[in-house]
Amino acid sequence: MFMKALEGIRVLDLTHAMAGPICTMFLGAMGAEVIKIEPPWGEMTRMFPPLVKGVSPYFAFLDRNKKGVTLNLKHPKGLDMFKEMVKKSDVVVENFWPGTMDVLGLGWETLRELNPGIIFASISGFGQTGPWSNRRSFDPIAQAASGYMWLMKDSIDPEGPPHQAPEAIADTIPGFSALIGILAALVHRSKTGRGQRIDVAQMDAMIAVSPSFSFWTLARTTFKRAVSGYGVRVSGCHKAKDGYVMFSLPPGRITDWFRELIGMEELTWDAVAAWVAERTVDKVVELLVKAGIPVAPVHDLDDVLANEQARAREMFVKVEHPVLGETTLPGFPIKFSETKGDMTTPAPLLGQHNVEVYSALLGLSEDEVEALRKEGVI
C-alpha cells in the first residue's frame, strides 16, 4: 500500500469556479484531506451546464478527492465553526474577490492568530495589491489582460481579432501556481514552524509563463512568430487521406531525415502537403516515427480516450459517482515512484460529509449537526 505525499495535511477549501478547485483537487490527489466548504445552497460550479442527472460535468471533474460540507460563513455560529477548524488545519485556500475574507472576519491577521502555522492561499484575478486589485475576473478576463488572447490570434489569423483559448488556461495556470506556492510554504513551515500568506493573481501567473515577453522586449516578435521563422516552413498540421497529422521539423538532422524519407531535397509546403495527402494518418505517423521525426495524429477527444499511450500511463480512470454511476475522467499526471497520486474519489454531493467532518473536528453529534442545518448554519 503506497503512502501519499501529503498524508496528514488538512486543507480548508473555500474555492469555487476553476482556479481554486483545480489547485485543491491536486492537493487531495496527493493525499491531503481536503474539506470543500460550500454555502448551504452550493457553489456556482455545481450548476454549470449541461447537467447530467442534476450533476455538472465541470464540478464532477474539478472537485474529486474532497470531502464536502456546507457552512454559512455569514452566520455567527458558522464563523465560529470555521475558526475552530482553522486551529486544526494546515492550509486555507480561497478565491473570493479580494477583501472578502477580511469582511467575513477571516483575514490573514485573524487566521495567523488562530493558528501561527496556517498557510493561507488566495487566488484572484489581479492579486491583493495594485490599482486593479478590486476588479473581478474569470478566465477570459485574465486571458485578455495578460496578453494571451492577443497572442492566440497568431495561430489563427495574425491580422484578425484576438481569440480566447478553448480551455480555461488562465484558471489552470494560476491554480497550479497556487499549488506550487502551497507546497513550498509547507516545506518552509517544516523548517520554521511558521505559516505564511500566499497571494496568486491570474494575470501574474499568465505573464510569468509567457516567453513571448522576452521575445517582444528583446526582438519585437513573439514566441509563435519566432518558432515559425526558425523552423522549416513545412512544419505544421497537414491533411492526410483520413484526418490530420502534426509534425515538427527543426533545422538540422531531423529535417535531413525527413528529406531523405520523402525523397525531396527542396521542401515546399505544397509538395509536402501533397505527399501527406496521398497517405493515411496511420501511415504518415508510422513512417515519420520510424525516421525519428516528432509526429502525432491530431486526435479528437474520443481518440484520446482510446489512445494506447494515455491508457498505459493511466491517464483515464474510472470514478464511481453516487449519482452518475461509473464515469471516466482524467487521471493523475505525475508518476511518483513512492507516493502514488489518486484521482478516483468522486466529487462530493452537497453537504455529503457534514456529520463526518463536524463530528471529527468539532465533536458535534448527528443531532447537533441536524439542528445547525435547520438553523441555516450549514
Q: How far is CA 109 from the centre of its chain?
A: 29
Number of residues that make up the chain: 378
Q: 86, 110 in Cβ contact below 8 A?
A: no
The amino acid at residue 34 is V
Residue 296 has which C-alpha cell?
502525432
Closest CA to 310 of 302, 65, 289: 302
Q: Of 268, 303, 338, which one is at a domain's C-terminal end?
A: 303
Do 196 and 251 lie in a common domain? no
Do 43 and 126 lie in a common domain? yes
Residue 31 has which C-alpha cell?
493525499
216 in any annotated domain: no
Q: Which of the four pLDDT bands, split at 50, 70 and 90, describes residue 28?
A: very high
Q: Of 303, 325, 344, which one is at a domain's C-terminal end?
A: 303
What pLDDT was estimated at residue 231? 62
Do 243 and 320 lie in a common domain? no
Do 50 and 148 lie in a common domain? yes
Do 19 and 84 lie in a common domain? yes
2 in any annotated domain: no
Do 166 and 261 lie in a common domain? no
Q: Of 281, 303, 325, which one is at a domain's C-terminal end?
A: 303
Do 242 and 296 lie in a common domain? yes
Summarised one tens digit per residue, pLDDT across range 214-239 is: 999 999 999 999 988 776 689 999 99
Interhelix angle 76-87/354-362, nearest 10 degrees: 60
Do 103 and 238 lie in a common domain? no
285 in any annotated domain: yes
DSSP line for 292-343: T--EEE---HHHHHH-HHHHHTT-EEEEEETTTEEEEEE------SSS----
Report helix, strand or coil for 232. coil
Tell the residue number behind the cell numbers 510569468, with chain if given: 208
224 in any annotated domain: no
Domain that holds residue 75: 10-210+314-375
How many domains are there within the chain?
2
41 in any annotated domain: yes
298 in any annotated domain: yes
Do 299 and 254 lie in a common domain? yes
Summarised one tens digit per residue, pLDDT across range 148-162 is: 999 999 888 889 999
Q: How far is 113 from 116, CA to CA, in rounded Å?
A: 6
Do 191 and 292 lie in a common domain? no
Residue 165 has which C-alpha cell?
483559448
222 in any annotated domain: no
Closest CA to 378 of 155, 81, 92: 81
Summarised one tens digit per residue, pLDDT across range 278-329 is: 999 999 999 999 999 999 999 999 999 999 999 999 999 999 999 999 999 9
50 in any annotated domain: yes
Q: Which residues are catalytic?
A: 171
Maximum distance among all alpha carbons in the chain?
81
Within 8 A by CB and 6+ apart from 68, the residues are 36, 38, 347, 348, 349, 350, 351, 352, 353
The amino acid at residue 251 is P
What pLDDT was estimated at residue 235? 92
Alpha-carbon Rg for the chain in angstroms = 25
Q: 274, 267 in Cβ contact below 8 A?
A: no
Q: How far is 19 from 195, CA to CA, in rounded Å?
A: 22
Do 147 and 274 lie in a common domain? no
Closest CA to 22 of 182, 142, 197: 182
Q: Is residue 1's pLDDT more than 70?
A: no
Do 61 and 181 lie in a common domain? yes
Q: Is the pTM of this model over 0.75?
A: yes
CATH number at 264 reads: 3.30.1540.10
